[in-house]
Structure 1
Amino acid sequence: MKKRHPFNVYKGSDIAVVKLDVEKLPAEVIPFCMPKTSDRLTAGDELEIIGYGPAKSFDGKTRRLPRSAIYVVNSSKECSERFRQGNNFDPKHENCGYPKDHLVKVHHEDAGGPVVRNKVLRGIVRWTASDSTLGDTVVFSDIVAYTPWLKLAVKHLPSTRKHGVYQLSLGGTLYPMQVLETVAPTRQRASVQ
């Protein structure tokens, strides 16, 4: 039985909890911490966004490579004004930001990637602005806004000891892995890919 988030029953929030089939994580796996309820983002905060969107390599070919970009958080008022026309921005559960360096930014295929500040998961990329008037703005789910739901989801997975968003190091390269779906207590395994 999947547990839908009570605030966004009809809207995908890109946030979920899965039960991992291991209790002890390999040394290469680095967990991100969950934020405290008091850890609200404010305008001007800098965040790291990690994703796999297409990037040009040295040989000129486009590949899906792990990468990151630093973004600066906009105020809720600015985000609401910026996304007023038909973009369905929800200031209670979402934030937006712009790249600190406009040459290093995320791509629309980075949706679902973690948004991190000081090794604490602060959000999940929802979408990037495709309208040139909105610039390179990215909208992401605010993890703090979902804390009550996350606690409830974890409570309904009584045997779960580990959960969250992890980075796997494969051959020295960090690859972000994220939780994919809410699972019922009856499910034995869930894979993260």
Structure 2
Amino acid sequence: MPMFRRLLPVASAAGLTAALCAAVPAPAAAASETPIVVTSGWSAKTGVARVTCPSGTGLVGGGYAVNPTENGFGQVTDFIQGNAPSVSHPNAWAVQSLRGQAKAYAMCVTGAPTPTVVASKWSDPGKVVAATCSGNQKMIGGGYWSQPATNGVGQNMDEITVNAPYEGYPNTWMAGMQSGLALAFAMCVD
């Protein structure tokens, strides 16, 4: 497991073209609402699957389904490169598979705010990075995007080692890879 050294400065989410986390809890104001679940279609192989919450609802979490690739021996050689709130598309969840197809799921709550998504910088190989909500914003979840280590034919040889809230650091989400690079994303609301 990578050692936690220092947090990298948080970069603005603007300008990143795609971002891709496990389901996260709803904001406290909307906690009693039952989320509406919306799904994307299947992505093309290696493509980004993205789904946006309907008008009048706010994104509170998401997840994925995957149709992974396998080698000739029936072993899965794929990897979910990202599973997180979308940086480039407000109120949306995005997912991408390294080699296969993915489907994105978004949990949306009526009246919940559209979260701001904050991104870390890319980690060094095998290190952990963190994204922190700014000012008085509160984190309601997060996710990751990665560049996993692969073998000579592009098959995954890596794993996400952490994708979770950072204990002891309020409103901060962390992500890291065993060998590759990672981005962390925090979902923030006022």
Q: TM-score, normalised by structure 2?
A: 0.29
Q: Which has the higher helix share?
A: 1
Higher Cα radius of gyration: 1
Q: TM-score, normalised by structure 1?
A: 0.29
RCO higher in structure (CA 8 A, sep ≥6): 1
Q: Which has the higher strand share?
A: 2
